[in-house]
Chain A
């Protein structure tokens, strides 16, 4: 079956974020993904809770990552990220670094993680 043309595909946005923990504890990809998903579920419920969430990349060593969501739910996702205060009993603050339409564009916001354009 032929895929959808680009105009009909679901538009996505990529959010670069950084986690600032209270203590120097390592936060895993699974932990942060669960926390974001739970916060969105508790904030918007089942009716509005589907924001097309996917954790594209997460660098555990410097606690930075890229989150994917649908374009019309960017504000809702950002609000949920702002309200996160705890990940697995570790107090944290999440700082959003930037929003982009592509992963490549989003990687510009992450420290020292410039995308390799050579193929």
Chain B
């Protein structure tokens, strides 16, 4: 089976050779004019999240700095993905629950591009720990660019190589990590594009 690669961005993408290697780009920017597939929900507390989720439809992604909001989002049926940025807080329990509820955890590259020095060092360390937990619980996750503008995008090979090195350096099973990331990317692609796909193991066959 051919592996397809999905990327999540926060702007309306235009053609650039930086998008090399991706089969589907999902923009999360709530722009009414574009043909969006992602629905971005930004919330600072749980009541705001619940309010915004009522209007949400499609492929919903939640972005929040609050740990409680992320934990609440994982428990909601409408939420498909917990989006990543430099201020995201996520813990052991949330990751474990995300596995049960089949919510995807995004691990993005662009957060490393927006910070420098000690902040970046801390982020790298946090990400290594996150990847370790994601592998331990086999929680669905995706490696993306998470770009907010055109210049934060990196080609697919470059992105995977970066996370390969990051996990290898942190003593994580890098081969398994990349394999799982590719599998999840495939699943998301089918969920968004393939109309016959319902869930893992269940799909409409031709009569």
Is A53 an interface position by the 8 A CB rule?
Answer: no
User: Given the interface contacts A22-B151, A82-B154, A85-B151, does A95 sit within 8 Å of B116 by beta carbon?
Assistant: no
Q: Are B158 and A78 touching (Cβ within 8 A)?
A: yes
Chain A contact residues, majority secondary structure: mixed
Which B residues lie within 8 Å of A92 (CB)? 151
Known contacts A83-B112, A85-B113; is A95 also within 8 Å of B154 by CB? yes
B155 touches A42 (CB 8 A): no
8 A Cβ contacts from A72-113 to B = 75-76, 78-79, 82-83, 85, 91-93, 95-96
- In the bound complex, CA of A42 to CA of B92 (Å): 30
B172 → A minimal CB distance (Å): 14
A79 adjacent to B116 (CB under 8 Å): no
Q: Are A93 and B168 in contact (CB under 8 A)?
A: no
A27 nearest CB across to chain B (Å): 14
Q: How many residues from A make CB contacts under 8 Å with B?
A: 16
A95 near B113 with CB under 8 A, answer no
B166→A79 contact, CB < 8 A: yes
Task: Report the number of A-B residue pairs with Cβ-Cβ less than 8 Å.
Answer: 50
Q: Please determine whether B151 and A75 come into contact, CB atoms closer than 8 angstroms.
A: no
A20 in contact (CB, < 8 A): yes
B18 with A95: CB separation less than 8 A: yes
Question: Chain B residue with minimal CB distance to A17?
Answer: B158
Chain B residues with Cβ under 8 A from A95's Cβ?
17-18, 20, 154-155, 158
Contact of B18 among A79, A85, A91, A93 (CB under 8 A): A93
Which chain B residues lie closer than 8 Å to A76 at the CB level? 165
- Give the residues in chain B near A43, CB-CB below 8 Å: 120
Within the complex, the shortest CB–CB distance from A2 to chain B, in Å, comes to 37
Distance of B137 from chain A, by nearest CB (Å)? 26
Q: Are the C-beta atoms of B164 and A75 separated by less than 8 Å?
A: yes
Binary per-residue interface labels of chain B (152-175) against chain A in the complex, 1 for a CB within 8 Å, 0 otherwise: 111101110110111010000000
Q: Which residue on B lies nearest to A48, using beta carbons?
A: B169
What is the bound-complex CA distance between A104 and B20, given in angstroms? 24
Give residues in B with beta carbon < 8 Å to A: 16-18, 20, 109, 112-113, 116-117, 120, 150-155, 157-159, 161-162, 164-166, 168
State the A residues within 8 Å of B (CB). Answer: 20, 22, 42-43, 75-76, 78-79, 82-83, 85, 91-93, 95-96
Task: Give 22 A-B contacts (CB < 8 Å), ordered by A residue.
Answer: A20-B18, A75-B161, A75-B164, A75-B165, A75-B168, A78-B161, A78-B162, A78-B165, A82-B109, A82-B154, A82-B159, A82-B162, A85-B113, A93-B151, A93-B152, A93-B153, A93-B154, A95-B17, A95-B18, A95-B155, A96-B155, A96-B157
